[in-house]
Amino acid sequence: MPAFWDTSAVVHLCIPGQGSSGARRLLREQTPVIWWCTPVEAHSAIERLHAVRAITTPAFRAAKERAQTMLGSWREIHPTEAVRELALILLERFRLRAADALQLAAALVWCKQKPQNRIFVSNDVKLTAAAMDLGFDVRSA
């Protein structure tokens, strides 16, 4: 069964030494699904971490390579009217940031709005709370 990965979890998995063993196991066992914009968000986060010296240059290069390799083969949920409409509803219900509302909306489109027993992988506290409230089985990376 697939699992939906938000950008915070993807970035955590890309940084050398950051991904948990549970996240790596989940990655091996579950087909990853991502939102269409996740590659852009992940690249931005990795660039920002390097710019503020939160990661070394070798870790930066490794993270970029991992992200490109992983994200290039994962299933993407593309931007549709359904994603946009759900994101607008989620913004009102959970007071999320726009990018997080789009992530969660994409996850809902992926599971046909039936999140029970569906895995949502995230390290974002507010997004995790919203996903749990909707009924997703939330895991952290």
**pLDDT tens string 32-74:** 999 999 999 999 999 999 999 999 999 999 999 999 999 888 9
Terminal alpha carbon distance of the chain: 18
Assessment of whether the complete model's pTM goes beyond 0.85: yes
* Secondary structure class of 15 (helix, strand, coil): coil
Domains, the chain: 3-139 (3.40.50.1010)
The amino acid occupying position 54 is A
pLDDT of residue 4: 97
- For 96-141, write each residue's pLDDT tens digit: 999 999 999 999 999 999 999 999 999 999 999 999 999 999 998 8
**C-beta of residue 27 within 8 angstroms of C-beta of residue 119:** no
| Biggest CA pair distance of the chain | 42
E strands in 1-88: 3-5, 32-35, 75-77
Tokens of 34: 């991502």
Q: Kindly state the DSSP code that residue 74 receives in the 8-state scheme.
A: S
How far apart are the C-alpha atoms of 101 and 91, rounded to whole Å?
6
β-pair partners for 120: 4, 138
